[in-house]
Structure 1
Amino acid sequence: MEKQALTLVILNGKGAGNEALRAAINALRDEGYPIEVRVTWETGDSERYLQEAVALRAATVVAGGGDGTINELANALIHIAPSSRPVLGILPLGTANDFATSAGIPEDPQAALRLAIAGRTVNIDLARVNQDRYFINMATGGFGTRITTETPEKLKSALGGVSYFIHGLMRMDTLKADSCAISGPNFNWHGDALAIGVGNGRQAGGGQRLCPRALINDGLLDLSIVNSQELLSTLLHSLTSDEQNPNIITATLPWLKISSPNEMTFNLDGEPLSGTEFHIEVIPGALACRLPPQCELLS
């Protein structure tokens, strides 16, 4: 068997005791795949481990965790020179796993790890916010953002992705629209938005498919604005159907600008960013990633 290139798994500390993952890594090592594991403890660890992966000439770095883990690694990968940048693999171990779910990545650790190491490599887009922050899946603002940032950890652990929706029902009394203006090529809108989704991927918040037609290799971002007072029916619709909801305004754009007289908070793959102006643009083909052959996010 020919010598395989090194894979470095960067594992969120919450998944360090996952016995199924330990068995999967040992099984693939037995097949001849050299795999090293690093466990994160605090912010910045992923970037430090990525630098180690580059020094070791690892062919692949695997994000083992949820959307936040993938986001942290993607933010670090984009700053590595393309000539020495490893391929990104994804091992879904978080609560919601929105990006991995919509990409069709297996939940089984061994199947996901095998895909991450030996699967097909494709170039995918990355979105950049205000020149220095990035997201791989989705930026969400408004009511949806408040729910995903406030949902208790115990509820997420017990119920998984549906916990966001249940917590949303519990917080309907806090419903408040954000007044803002959104513009882009041949697109202008202003009004009160209950929820905003800017999608490179399709879903966020534990399964809310705000951008059900988004593709991650088309050089475009999908924008969805919920401006209806019927938020409950809109959220239910987003959980159960990919058909266009009349309460959602949509556009497909290479870039867009969002401005508000009041401070807004956007979740970038679960990582909050607050401000009054957001310039969001797509970087086509920014990263190499290993995804399933029939991935619905690919054009």
Structure 2
Amino acid sequence: MQKRCRIIYNPTSGREAIKNDLVDILNILEGVGYETSAFATTPEENSARNEAKRAAQAGFDLIVAAGGDGTINEVVNGIAGLEKRPKLGIIPAGTTNDYARALKIPRESPIEAAKVIAKGQSLKVDIGMAGDKYFVNIAAGGSLTEVTYAVPSDVKSLFGYLAYFVKGAEMLPGMKKTDMHIEYDQGTFEGKASMFFVALTNSVGGFEKIAPDASLDDGKFTLMVVKTSNLLEILQLFTRLLNGDHINDPRILYVKTSKLVIKPVNDERLMINLDGEYGGDAPMTFKNLKQHIEIFANIDDIPENAIQQEIDKDEDTREKLVQGVESLSQKQHNEIDPQDRN
């Protein structure tokens, strides 16, 4: 029986480039044996999540999330709770594309990202569970994370990282600390902090040194708690974060943990951000689901210390496969009338 693939794409994500490349993406996936169809998400709440769940239950072998980190999060939430889960592919088309960055998937070309899926290298990755929701890259809370809510989506699409920097600089003078109670594998933190975050990869907000020793599949979160809200100290820490030498700074708690519980103290509100979107309020329990979803990635370019499991790398066979896909895609592309592509 031929394998089936469902592409779930956000037609408004990023600069809407995905729509222009959809025919080529379909050709590439058809060329490696997937009967492929596409679904455009709608403004309806949980559109991508609901379609991902429906496709998984209908027996699709592969679901491709084409969009930004929010689209990927929705698709994962659609399949993560199922006993039988399809493989996952990613075609980044958003603003930050943190998760695609961690998996070394090309972020500037949807067609090149589709070729990563065609290459056939996959691994089983950890995902996080927060209450009854799932996340693939980061969970966070505290006043430092409020910038993610304050930047309008159209501004993020136009200016990318710059929008976060401008809004962050604007909000820093009013930064405050929140009383938090955090239980993790090795102990407990109780005190004031301006932010905590829980990372599954080394790519956070476009920076790859914030959690430099993060592994994709070891069953551990990287937990970081920023204990200061002093403007000067936060700027100093930001510089250290960029260089990756913040891990032992006394103003930061940096540990590995497979689970944690976050509670606010003194009835303060503590909003939780999951993969860049509001995910509910604390108290909340987080669990690392080790190697829960199998995902296609550019494994040849991922650092060896970021993957614990044994990965088969039959590079000669895969190279021939990719060359064949490229040839087929180009042939089919040439046969399509230019007006039809538009």
Q: TM-score, normalised by structure 1?
A: 0.89
Match for 1:298: what amino acid? I
Q: Distance in 2 between matches of 1:105 and 1:289?
A: 11
Please state which structure has a larger fraction of its residues in strand. Answer: 1
Deviation at 1:36, TM superposition (A): 1.0
Question: 1:38 and 2:39 equivalent?
Answer: yes
Judge conservation of contact 1:116–1:291 (CA < 8 Å) in 2: yes
Corresponding residue number in structure 1 for 2:252:
248
Judge conservation of contact 2:49–2:76 (CA < 8 Å) in 1: no
Corresponding residue number in structure 1 for 2:11:
13
> Does the C-alpha gap of structure 1 residues 69 and 106 become closer, same or farther in structure 2, counting only changes over 3 Å?
same
Match for 2:111: what amino acid? Q
Corresponding residue number in structure 1 for 2:284:
278
- Unaligned residue ranges in structure 2 (runs of 5+): 309-342
Please give the residue correspondences for 1:94-105 in structure 2 after superposition, counting only pairs within 5 Å: 94-105=94-105
Corresponding residue number in structure 2 for 1:110:
111
Stretch of structure 1 that moved more, 148-157 or 250-259? 148-157
Corresponding residue number in structure 2 for 1:188:
188
Judge conservation of contact 2:144–2:175 (CA < 8 Å) in 1: no
Which one of 252, 269, 277 corresponds to residue 275 of structure 2?
A: 269
The CA RMSD measured in Å over matched residues stands at: 2.2
Please give the residue correspondences for 1:183-262 in structure 2 after superposition, counting only pairs within 5 Å: 183-207=183-207, 209-228=209-228, 229=230, 230-238=233-241, 240-245=242-247, 246=249, 247-261=251-265, 262=268
Secondary structure of the 2:145 match is: helix
Deviations 1:197-252 (A, max 9, x none): 101122334447542321120011110111132112222432x3223351321010
Number of aligned residues? 293
Question: 1:298 and 2:307 equivalent?
Answer: yes
Judge conservation of contact 2:123–2:295 (CA < 8 Å) in 1: yes
Corresponding residue number in structure 2 for 1:28:
28
Q: Distance in 2 between matches of 1:208 and 1:266?
A: 22
Judge conservation of contact 2:148–2:276 (CA < 8 Å) in 1: yes
Q: Distance in 2 between matches of 1:207 and 1:73?
A: 24
Secondary structure of the 2:21 match is: helix
Structure with max Cα Rg: 2
Judge conservation of contact 2:18–2:93 (CA < 8 Å) in 1: no
Match for 2:302: what amino acid? C
Corresponding residue number in structure 1 for 2:76:
74
- Unaligned residue ranges in structure 1 (runs of 5+): none
Which one of 64, 67, 75 corresponds to residue 65 of structure 1?
A: 67
Please state which structure has a larger fraction of its residues in helix. Answer: 2
Secondary structure of the 1:263 match is: coil
Please give the residue correspondences for 1:173-184 in structure 2 after superposition, counting only pairs within 5 Å: 173-184=173-184
Deviations 1:117-175 (A, max 9, x none): 44212111111112x11111110111332001111234312221232122101112321
Judge conservation of contact 2:11–2:18 (CA < 8 Å) in 1: no
Judge conservation of contact 1:263–1:274 (CA < 8 Å) in 2: no
Deviation at 1:54, TM superposition (A): 3.0
Stretch of structure 1 that moved more, 204-213 or 89-98? 204-213
Judge conservation of contact 1:163–1:206 (CA < 8 Å) in 2: no
Deviation at 1:265, TM superposition (A): 0.9
Judge conservation of contact 1:12–1:69 (CA < 8 Å) in 2: yes
Q: TM-score, normalised by structure 2?
A: 0.79
